[in-house]
Amino acid sequence: MREMSFRNLFAVPGSILLSLLLGGGAGRNVHGQTPQECGSVSGVVKIAARALSPPLFPVTKDEKYCGKEKSSHRLLVGRGGGVQSAVVYLESVRQEKMPDISSRTVLEQKGCEYVPHILLVPVGGELTIVNGDPILHNVHAYQSAEPEQTKFNIAQPVKGQRTIVGRENFTHAGIFMVTCDAGHPWMNAYVFVTPHRCYALTDKDGRFTLRDVPPGKYRLSMWHEGVAVAGAEMDGGKVRSYRYESPYEYQQAIVVHEGKETKSDFSFALRNQGIVSRAR
């Protein structure tokens, strides 16, 4: 069973108003405030110590397109120890409009990997899935639950095939873990369904910025997926799926002031002898 932690990861506001007409004065942002009334939050996420080398997963199917082995990309470290693709967000943000759902996020299967590895999809948004390989892949998304529940499972046997995952799959905040059951157990990704706009993915040097934040006191949260392999499910002598350690989750109390930038950094150490890859 795939292991994920959702310890109050999303503190959804008591009400998210559905009308796009509320709070929408001229020159005002999604929170109903002018840019001068808002602040921002920025910082960097770092790993406390460098690890040695990335784990290698053996490829036992479709070697012509996938290669003989695959490297883990669950921890990507860039300049100065900055960690790429950590999710940083504010809890309990006062929200007067729904997140922007005008654009559609794309998840591609390319070189027998999911690209990107971490995605942010707003509540009420849509996801486009594309197969960039000339082999069968499937996108099997699990929602946090015990037992785990399949959210959607889409097979794509043809290169260039595109499938739209509709809004009915993204009605509530949460995290989906995505895997490929077509003989590619190293393939995995995470989809964050976000209830407001104050979410960010760290860049290749671990930096993040949250803009247009209403002044106030908040909990700033950081989430990074588990890195170490905790076990595997076998099928006929081959690995069917990998299990990973629980995510790394941290919080800080911050204050955002009107028209000011709040600085806040995160640093964490791996629970086990860590393995990292170079940030891409």
What does the mean pLDDT of the chain come to? 84
Q: For residue range 48-75, list pLDDT tens digits in order.
A: 876 557 789 999 999 999 999 999 989 9
Average pLDDT of 192-218? 95
pLDDT of 183 above 60: yes
Q: Is the pLDDT of residue 127 over 60?
A: yes
Output the CA–CA distances (angstroms, integers) from residue 167 to 28, 86, 172, 193, 251, in the order listed.
Answer: 27, 25, 10, 11, 30
Question: Which helix (H) or strand (E) element contains residue 131?
Answer: strand 127-131
Distance of CA 136 to the CA centre of its chain: 24
Answer whether 241's CB lies under 8 Å from 233's CB.
yes
Would you say how long the chain is, in residues?
Answer: 280
Confidence of residue 22 (pLDDT cuts 50, 70, 90): very low
Residue 31 has pLDDT above 80, yes or no: no
**Where residue 158 falls among pLDDT bands split at 50, 70, 90?**
very high
Does CATH number 2.60.40.420 belong to domain 35-278?
A: yes
**Helices and strands (H and E) in the chain: how many:** 1, 24
For the segment 110-117, the average pLDDT, to the nearest whole number, is 96
Q: Assess whether pLDDT exceeds 50 at residue 103.
A: yes
* Tokens at 275, concatenated: 């393995």
- Which residues touch 254 (CB under 8 Å, ≥6 apart)? 41, 217, 218, 219, 220, 262, 264
Where are the domains positioned within the chain?
Answer: 35-278
The least confident of 154-168, 186-200, 232-246, 265-279 is: 265-279
> What's the rounded mean pLDDT across residues 122-150?
90
Q: Which of 15-29, 42-56, 168-182, 224-238 has the highest mean pLDDT?
A: 168-182
How many Å apart are CA 178 and CA 201, to the nearest integer? 18
Q: Which amino acid is at 113?
A: E
Res 50: pLDDT: 65
pLDDT higher than 70, residue 236: yes
CA distance 63 to 83: 30
Report whether 88 contacts 208 (CB < 8 A): yes
Tokens of 19: 């009308």
Q: What is the pLDDT of residue 10?
A: 42
Alpha helices by DSSP H, the chain: 63-66
Least confident of 25-34, 57-66, 69-78, 218-227: 25-34
31 closest CA partner among 252, 222, 198, 217:
198
When pLDDT is cut at 50, 70 and 90, the band that residue 237 belongs to is: confident
